[in-house]
Amino acid sequence: MTIIALKRVARNVPADTPIQTPDSTSTLLLASEVAARLRVTEKALEHWRRRGMGPNFIRLGRNCIRYRLEDIEIFIQRRAISY
Predicted confidence (pLDDT) per residue in 26-54, tens digit: 789 999 999 999 999 999 999 999 999 99
Between CA 67 and CA 64 the distance in angstroms is: 10
Cα(23)–Cα(79) distance, integer angstroms = 29
**Contact assessment for residue 30 and residue 41, using Cβ atoms and an 8 Å cutoff:** no
- Distance of alpha carbon 9 from the chain centroid: 17
Q: What is the pTM of this model?
A: 0.67
Could you give the CA distance from residue 16 to residue 9 in angstroms, rounded to a whole number?
14
- Cα separation of 9 and 19, whole Å? 9
Residue 19 pLDDT grade (very low, low, confident, very high; cuts 50, 70, 90): low
